Every structure is written in C-alpha cells, then in structure tokens.
Amino acid sequence: MGLLDSLVGNEVKKFVKRKDSDAGEAGRALEELRGSIYNEIRTSEGAKRQQQRICGPVVAMTFNFIVSVGIILANKLVMGRVGFKFPIFLTLIHYVTSWLLLAIFKTLSILPVAPPSRTTPFSSIFSLGAVMAFASGLANTSLKHNSVGFYQMAKIAVTPTIVSAEFILFRKTISFNKVLALAVVSAGVAIATVTDVEFNVFGALIAIAWIVPSAINKILWSNLQQQANWTALALMWKTTPVTIFFLLALMPWLDPPGVLLFQWDFNNTTAILISALLGFLLQWSGALALGATSATSHVVLGQFKTCVILLGGYLIFNSDPGFVSICGALAALCGMSVYTSLNLQKSQDNVSMQLPKQSLPTLKPKATNEESVESDVEDTTNPTTAV
C-alpha cells in the first residue's frame, strides 16, 4: 500500500504541475494582450498610430476642406449680418471654446495621452502657442481690413516662406516637380483673385505681418506631430492656454473698443457660438491635415478652397468673376492636382514605413506528457532549482 500511495501521489503532483504550467502560459498571454491593448490606447505612440490609421491624408484634408467652407459662411454671418466687429475677440472665443471642449474630453478620458515632457521642450510648446495666437488673430484682422482677394494674395507668399523656413530650420528640400507645381498654383491663384484686390495701408501691414507667423505655425504643427509622436488633440490641449494668453494681450491693440456694448441677444450669441464650434473643428482638422501631410500641402489646400468657391459660384450661382479669373483658377487646380498627387504618394509611403505590424500574443503549444515528465525530473535533479 505504501508503494501504491507513493505512485499515486507522484502522478497527482505531475498532473497538478502540468495544470499550473498551462494556467501560467494562459496568464502570461493574457498579460501580453492586456499590455498590447494598453499601448494602443494609453500611450502617446499608440494614440499616434490610431490617428494615422483612422485619419490618413485624404480623410484629414477632406475634413479640413469641409470645415473651412463652413466657418467661412459662419464668420461672414457673424461679421456681416450680426455686425460683430472684433476679430481678435472672436478668435479668443474660438480658442476658449476649444479649451473647454478639450477639458471635457480630458475629464471623460477621451483626450489622447501626450508624449513625456522630457521629449518635447516647454519652449517648443510655448512658441507654438504664441505663434498660433499671432497667426489666427492677424488672419481675422487682415480679413476685416482687406478684401478676400488681397488676403489670398498674401496667402500666396506663405508658400515660399514655408519652403525657405523649412530649409533653414530643418534642411528640408522639395523636388523640382513640386516646385513647378507650386509655381503654377501660385500664379493661378494670383490671376484668379487679381480682380478683387482692395486694401489700405494698415490692412496691408497686418497682412505682411501675418505671413511669417502663419508659415511658422504650420511648420511647427507638422513637425511636432510627425517627429515627436504628438496627436492633434493632445497638442491642442497643451498649446491652447498659451494662445489664449497672447490673444488677451493682442485685444487692446488690434480690436476697436466697445465689445461690452455689443448686443449679446440670443440670436447673436448663438451665431457666435456656432462659429466657435466650427473654429474648434477647424483647428482640429487643420492639425490633423498638418500631421498627415505637410505645411506646404495645407497652404495648397487653402488655395484649392479658394478656387473651388470661385468656380462654384460661377457654375451654381451664375456669378461672373471674369474669363481671366476662371482660367487662373483652372490653372491653379491643375497645379494642385499634380502637387497633391506627389505629396500624398510620399505621405502614404512614410506612414506605411512608420506603422509597425501589430500582432496578438499567441499561446505556446502545450507540452506533451513525456516532456512534462522530463521537466519534472530536471527540476528535481537541478541543484539551482532545488536550492
């Protein structure tokens, strides 16, 4: 009986040990799966990969184009029919609304995780927030004091400014084919808008002062997202408070007095809030487009919007911009098509190279009875294991 009890006891111990081994393998696989899911959701690298998968170049640029058209109509309503003549304060309302929405996202744990602070100096975040305040505020002020045509003429100068700044800061060059395409785009937009160029001295100075901040703003947005694993929403959350501070500083200098005397009734307030919500979507979609493509592509997208609005008014509303303007818009669209195809092809290649292949952890094959017995023998004979 003693021998029988000993044999039965050994078999039971081997069976229990095999079960413990299987449970350990399953537990390790579950932990690996849990870690993989955590990396995709609660790390900056995972959040960046999710943004790249969901919102590629075509989706981001389409989103930005649709929102841009919507906010043009909303701002025309606010500054025209509503009579809100305070462009800097309107921009401030946009950014305060954006910050409140981002705070709600953060409270609900929807806001993507930002990269560690040591990877991005605070000076870069502060510079982007400050430049963004000047770029957005001066753009609205330029629209108030200049015609849309002159505003578009100033925007043309942003393209060579971006190319020059990227070469100086990052030694980044573009191909000769892209240079030709951009030249055709700039010439076409200039011809399309030359019939609507009206400005005054103050408006011209504002437009000139807006060019450099606008170019640097786009470059920083694109570079931080593509090089430092920032997502659009996470970067907006960090930079918006800085932008709000500088907009408050710009208000006394560029806005006329009397903002408190404005008629804040239900209809006017609703129109301004709709503009503010569209402003949040515009900032978000613009950041997505800059992260998915490049600063120059974002400028080309804005010029594409101008040409589409001009041609759409001619085809749908029977407006007559003139034969020369129509030819210029068509030429610009041809140049944009060539440039966009070249840039999107490069962006898709870069994204495919950056995205690592994700694979779920797999369970290791179960050991056979013979292998388990051998391992049991090794465990009992190995001095280190026994110790």
Instruction: List pLDDT tens digits, range 47-88.
Output: 778 887 888 888 898 899 899 888 877 887 888 888 898 999
Distance from C-alpha of 230 to C-alpha of 353, rounded to nearest angstrom: 18
Which of the residue ranges 143-152, 159-168, 294-303, 362-371 would you say has the lowest mean pLDDT? 362-371
CA 179 from centroid of its chain's CA atoms? 25
Per-residue confidence (pLDDT) for residue 285, from 0 to 100: 93
Per-residue confidence (pLDDT) for residue 382, from 0 to 100: 44
Average pLDDT over residues 299-313: 79
Per-residue confidence (pLDDT) for residue 251, from 0 to 100: 92
Distance from C-alpha of 155 to C-alpha of 162, rounded to nearest angstrom: 11
Contacts of 321 (CB under 8 A, 6+ apart): 192, 195, 310, 313, 314, 329
Handedness of CA 137, 140, 143, 146 (dihedral sign): negative
Contacts of 133 (CB under 8 A, 6+ apart): 242, 243, 244, 245, 246, 247, 250
Per-residue confidence (pLDDT) for residue 199, from 0 to 100: 67
Average pLDDT over residues 30-54: 65
Closest by CA to 89, choosing from 81, 79, 99, 77, is 79
Compute the mean pLDDT over every residue in the chain, rounded to the nearest whole number: 78
Average pLDDT over residues 310-333: 79
With tokens 């092809």, the residue in question is 345
Question: Is the model more confident about 42 or about 43?
Answer: 43
Distance from C-alpha of 238 to C-alpha of 44, rounded to nearest angstrom: 14
Which of the residue ranges 233-242, 292-301, 342-351 would you say has the lowest mean pLDDT? 342-351
Distance from C-alpha of 94 to C-alpha of 120, rounded to nearest angstrom: 26
Question: Is the model more confident about 199 or about 110?
Answer: 110
pLDDT > 90 in the chain, percent? 24
* 312 pLDDT higher than 50: yes
Are 295 and 166 in contact by the 8 Å Cβ rule? The answer is yes
Are 147 and 204 in contact by the 8 Å Cβ rule? The answer is no
Question: Residues for the chain: how many in total?
Answer: 387
Tokens of 309: 């609005």
* 255 pLDDT higher than 50: yes
Question: What's the pLDDT band for 106 if we cut at 50, 70, 90?
Answer: very high
CA 224 vs CA 168, 218, 231, 352: distances in Å: 17, 10, 9, 19
Q: What is the DSSP string of 20-49?
A: HHHHHHHHHHHHHHHHHHHHHHSSHHHHHH
Which of the residue ranges 124-128, 231-235, 340-344, 366-370 would you say has the lowest mean pLDDT? 366-370
Distance from C-alpha of 288 to C-alpha of 350, rounded to nearest angstrom: 16
- The stretches of 42-112 forming alpha helices (DSSP H) are 44-54, 57-76, 87-107
Question: Is the model more confident about 80 or about 235?
Answer: 235
Are 259 and 89 in contact by the 8 Å Cβ rule? The answer is yes
Amino acid at 71: I
Distance from C-alpha of 273 to C-alpha of 287, rounded to nearest angstrom: 21
Question: What's the pLDDT band for 373 if we cut at 50, 70, 90?
Answer: very low
Are 230 and 120 in contact by the 8 Å Cβ rule? The answer is yes
